[in-house]
Amino acid sequence: MTLDEKFDKLKNRLRQMDRVIIAFSGGVDSTFLLKAASMSGLGEVLAVTGQSESMPEEEFSFSKEMAGSLNVGHRIIRTNELGNSSYSTNPPDRCYYCKKELFSKLKQIAEKEDYHFILDGTNSDDAKDRRPGRRAAHEEGVESPLLDAGLSKDEIRELSKALGLPTWNKPATPCLSSRIPYGQKITVEALEKVSKAEAFIRQYGITELRVRNHSEVARIEIHPDDFHKLTADPARNEIVKYFRSIGFKYITLDLQGFRSGSGNEIL
């Protein structure tokens, strides 16, 4: 099936759904899905963003701007996954409890306001990866039209570029909790340290990074080609000083470089 045929399949399926809620983070996949839904001619689409301490503030702001630019209804709801000890104790299936919290709230909105479907941005690549949140989606009746259309991440980026979406080359932005190793408790303070640390690193021209919070140790992951941006003074001294001011005692640069999902390496 060609890319155009996959896109047509997606739009045809969306058109049949009539009234939908889309779990919207402002990332590559959910933005493309929202755009496709707005183009499909379905009855009504409502983008819903879950706001919590685990969502970077800049991502929350971007989701509002993006939904506004697509001229669709957008609603912010508060989620409280940190209030669930099954999540905050940070087990390997942590994402299940986060998605369960979000999708159950979306289901309540759908039932109360007569939306026929709840959709998420899962793509065909996600189906090959370890995704505990998929179980929550199945339990709450959430559908994944990008997956059903057979669209991969690269294909979604290609279509997004053709549609003029600014997210076509946006780096992946998983929740802040993904920076905390399994078994280490997730707290508001721990998430704030990560958020502040990553924002500080970005000022040196680093666009794709992770700051892994190992309690007293900050493990910085960036692409090896960018190492020189952080290891040369004055950047090195500035980073050490700032990271210590927000609570880290030891600041390390991971020589393996940036890699998405490195927290799963211990499983």
At a CB cut-off of 8 Å and minimum separation 6, what does 14 contact?
A: 20, 36, 37, 40, 42, 145
Q: Which of 169, 201, 225 is the last residue of a domain?
A: 169
Reply yes or no on whether the pLDDT at 267 is more than 60. no
5 alpha carbon, distance to own chain's centre: 27
Total H helices, total E strands in the chain: 11, 7
Last residue of a domain, one of 137, 152, 169: 169
Q: Is the peptide bond prior to 92 cis by the omega test (within 30 degrees of 0)? A: no
Structure tokens at 213: 């919070």
Q: In terms of domains, do 133 and 236 share one?
A: no
Looking at residue 265, what is its pLDDT? 58
Report pLDDT digits (tens) over 68-121.
999 899 999 999 999 999 999 999 999 999 999 999 999 999 999 999 999 999
Find the mean pLDDT for residues 38-60: 92
Q: Which domain holds residue 61?
A: 3-169
Q: What's the length of the chain?
A: 267
82 and 152 together in one domain: yes
pLDDT of residue 129: 76
Q: Which CATH number is 184's domain given?
A: 3.30.70
Q: What is the average pLDDT value for the chain, to the nearest integer?
A: 94
- Answer whether residue 62 shows pLDDT above 60: yes
Domain holding 43: CATH number? 3.40.50.620
Mean pLDDT of 37-63: 93
The reported pLDDT for the residue numbered 58 is 87
Residues 109 and 207 in one domain: no
Domain count for the chain, please give it. Answer: 2
79 Cβ contact partners less than 8 Å away, ≥ 6 residues apart: 50, 51, 52, 98, 101, 102, 105
Residues 19 and 148 placed together within one structural domain of the fold: yes
Residues 124 and 140 in one domain: yes
Q: Using DSSP bridges, classify how beta strands 209-214 and 117-119 pair: parallel, antiparallel or unpaired.
A: unpaired
Given 151, 169, 187, which residue is the final one in a domain? 169
Query: Which is more confident, 217 or 129?
Result: 217
The yes-or-no verdict on residue 199 having pLDDT over 80 is: yes
**pLDDT, greater one: 31 or 60:** 31
